Structure 1
């Protein structure tokens, strides 16, 4: 039986929020951070913040947008750390590690999305993987709808260019 997201006192039930939105938060953290351990850290930080600020959440729609915004902010904070700027990211984590369902090793589309610049990657992920509308993405990222449309267009163009060879060779087979 699924518990209610909001308790008797109108505050968010953090455990139910993790059950309901945990995969969404983890997918976004993973696509932003490109590293499981850092995505795990972001995931933990997001839900710790939820516990701290749960009395400020007004509705389920607000909760979902809040979680996405906090996830993106935590990812940005990780990228801004001096330690991260002075390290080199590993190309691939150990192959023996169980892969997350969205992550498909060798999938050219997945690899191309990961290679997009941060602004485009966020918009493409929210639009295609999380199924948000342009208006909702604008609210989550605190930008205008026209900015979202521009980033989607440019992100698609970058993906088209990056995948150009993949699709041409697939057509010949």
Structure 2
């Protein structure tokens, strides 16, 4: 049984929670709000875990639930982030980042947990309460969408970089 203080949980899992929140919202402010809500729930519920893995899975589940609540908010549907209004892209933005942003939140979450956090489809299914086959299908469809989005990006970049010979 592990019983860490909230400070210990933040130091061990804070980066993971923030990365997932930011990967989904693409807003530092929203990611900060979700981060705070996740660890507030930890303080309120004072969970005791059987293992480190159970602890990590619980925090990911709470993060995913906070993200769902975030996307459900009525004002969120009509909100345009200030970042979207700025015409200059950030230098670290890549074609892959842009393609990931275009995925639906369900696809983006599955891709993030699978590729960035290293979870298997079975582990993601347990956390989300879905069947492993649904997660594998979601990952396959997300990869296909990314492939199409990236193909367009690569084609556009190539055609602009190479002058036509007429």
For Structure 1 versus Structure 2, the TM-score category normalised by the shorter chain is 0.7 to 0.9
Specify whether residues 52 and 109 from structure 1 end up closer, same or farther in structure 2 by C-alpha distance, changes over 3 A only: same
What is aligned with 1:111? 98
What is aligned with 2:75? 83
Q: Residue 113 of structure 1 contacts residue 159 of structure 1 at CA under 8 Å; is this kept in 2?
A: yes
Give the gaps of 5 or more residues in structure 2: none
Q: Which moved more, 1:155-164 or 1:24-33?
A: 24-33
What is aligned with 1:13? 5
Distance 2:9 2:121 in 1: 24
The alignment's TM-score, normalised by the length of structure 1, stands at 0.81
Q: Give the 3-state SS of the residue equivalent to 1:55 in structure 2.
A: coil
Q: Which has the higher helix share?
A: 2
Distance 1:108 1:55 in 2: 40
The number of equivalent residue pairs is 158
Q: Give the 3-state SS of the residue equivalent to 1:163 in structure 2.
A: helix
Q: Give the 3-state SS of the residue equivalent to 2:137 in structure 1.
A: helix
The alignment's TM-score, normalised by the length of structure 2, stands at 0.84
Tell me which of 24, 30, 33 is aligned to 1:38: 30
What is aligned with 1:63? 55
What is aligned with 2:125? 138
Q: CA deviation at 1:37?
A: 0.3
Asked which structure has the greater CA Rg, the reply is: 2
Superposition RMSD in Å: 2.4
Distance 2:6 2:99 in 1: 34
User: Does residue 123 of structure 1 match 2:123?
Assistant: no
What is aligned with 1:25? 17
